Amino acid sequence: MKNALNGWSFASAVPILNSPWWRDPVCLLIILAACPFLLDSYRVSSLASYFPYAMAASALALVWGYCGILALGQAAFFGLGAYAAAKGIESYPVAPGLVAGIFIGCAAAGALAWILARVSFGVRAGAFLISVMTFCTAVAFEQLALKFTSVTGGQNGIPLDRVLPKDPLLSYYIGFVVFAMLLLGMAVITRSNLGRVIASVRDDSMRIRFFGTNAELVQRRVFVLGAIVTAFAGVLDALYSQIAAPDRIGFAFSTFIVLWCAIGGRNSLAAAAFGALLVNMVSNELSGIFLDYWQILLALIFIIVVMFLPDGLYWPIRVLGSRLNAPRPLQLEPAVASSSHPEGPAFVGEKLIQRFGSFTALDVDRVSFDFGHVTALIGPNGAGKSTLIAFLSGALSDAHGKAILVGKEMLGIPIWKVARLGVKRKFQNPRVFESLSVADNLFIGARDPKLRMRDWLVRDQCLPIPEDVMSLARQHGLLARLNDDAGSLAHGQKQFLEVCMVLGSQSQVVLLDEPTAGMESADRAAIGQVLVYLARSGAAVLIVEHDFDFVRSIADRILVLDQGALIADGTVSEVSEDRKVRDLYLGEGG
CB of 333 to another protein, least distance (A): 32
Q: Are 98 and 215 in contact (CB under 8 A)?
A: no
**What's the min distance (Å) between Cβ of 586 and another protein?**
6
Residue closer to another protein by CB (options 467, 547) is 547
Read off the DSSP letter of residue 485. B
CA distance 142 to 71: 16
Task: Give least dist CB 370 to another protein, A.
Answer: 23
Q: Cα separation of 316 and 301, whole Å? A: 16
Q: What minimum distance in Å lies between the beta carbon of 393 and another protein?
A: 17
Of 68, 53, 47, 65, residue with least CA distance to 273? 53
Residue 286 C-alpha from the chain's centroid: 39
The CA–CA distances, whole Å, from 63 to 66, 130, 187, 251, 252 equal 6, 11, 13, 17, 19
Nearer to another protein, 51 or 550 (CB): 550
Enumerate residues 6+ apart whose C-beta is below 8 A from 282.
Answer: 294
Q: Which one, 327 or 382, has the nearer CB to another protein?
A: 382
Question: Least CB distance from residue 166 to another protein, whole Å?
Answer: 36
* Alpha carbon 437 to chain centroid, angstroms: 13
Give 149's Cβ-side CA count (13 Å radius).
3
Return phi, psi of residue 547, to 5°: -75, 110
Smallest separation (angstroms) from another protein to the CB of 549? 9
| Between 303 and 319, CB nearer to another protein | 303
**178 vs 396, beta carbon nearer another protein:** 396
Shortest Å distance, C-beta 485 to another protein: 14
In terms of CB distance, is 336 or 490 closer to another protein?
490
Cβ(325)–Cβ(24) below 8 Å: no
Measured from the CB atom, is 70 or 183 closer to another protein? 70
Three-state SS sequence of 553-590: HHCCEEEEEECCEEEEEECHHHHHHCHHHHHHHHCCCC
- Do residues 519 and 490 make contact, with C-beta atoms less than 8 angstroms apart? no
- Smallest distance, another protein to C-beta of residue 352, A: 17
Rounded to the nearest 5 degrees, what angle is found at the Cα of 170, between the Cα atoms of 165 and 173?
A: 125
- Minimum Å gap between C-beta 40 and another protein is 30
373 within 8 A of 509, measured Cβ to Cβ: no
CA pair distance 202, 276, nearest whole angstrom: 23
Q: How many CB atoms lie within 10 A of CB 304?
A: 11
Residue 500 CB, shortest distance to another protein, in Å, is 19
Q: Which is nearer to another protein, 461 or 573 (CB)?
A: 573
CB 244 within 8 A of CB 158: yes
Neighbours of 418 (CB within 10 A): 25
Q: Report the alpha-carbon distance of residue 465 to residue 443 in Å, rounded.
A: 9
Nearer to another protein, 318 or 546 (CB): 546
d(CA 504, CA 474): 13
CB 378 within 8 A of CB 545: yes
Nearer to another protein among residue 16 and residue 119 (C-beta): 119
- Cβ atoms 513, 386 nearer than 8 A: yes
- Cβ-based nearer residue to another protein, 62 or 258: 258
Q: Compute the least distance from the CB of residue 249 to another protein, in Å.
A: 13
CB contact set of 295 (below 8 Å; sequence gap of 6+): none
Smallest separation, CB 251 to another protein (Å) = 5
- Residue 325: CB atoms within 10 A of its CB come to 16
CB of 144 to another protein, least distance (A): 6
